[in-house]
Amino acid sequence: WTLSLAISGGPRVARNAVGVPKLAIWMQIEGGDLEHASDGETLGDGGLDWSITRNGVPPASAVLWLQLIDPVGRKAPLLKVPAQP
């Protein structure tokens, strides 16, 4: 099974900015513990297409937890995004 995330209209920065916004991603499968999935996905031009593939039967429920990291490393609170089948 594959879990995908598509973001558009995200934060953008000026060309001469210190860096670019990034996104840390965790997965929570069927109410279990958070599993670290990625900690540095770049939001290029305010967008992102990301996916992760796992073996086995698709879970009954899955949640992505997202954390925006600004160009200087400040971290936003976690955002809960339930997966849609």
How far is residue 73 CA from its own chain's centroid? 16
**Is 3's pLDDT higher than 80?**
yes
Instruction: Identify how many contiguous H helices and E strands the chain contains and give both numbers.
Output: 0, 6
Q: How many whole angstroms separate alpha carbon 68 and alpha carbon 63? A: 16
Provide the pLDDT for residue 18: 83
Provide the pLDDT for residue 8: 94
- Give 20-77 pLDDT, tens digit per residue: 899 999 999 999 999 999 988 998 788 999 999 999 999 999 999 999 999 889 999 9
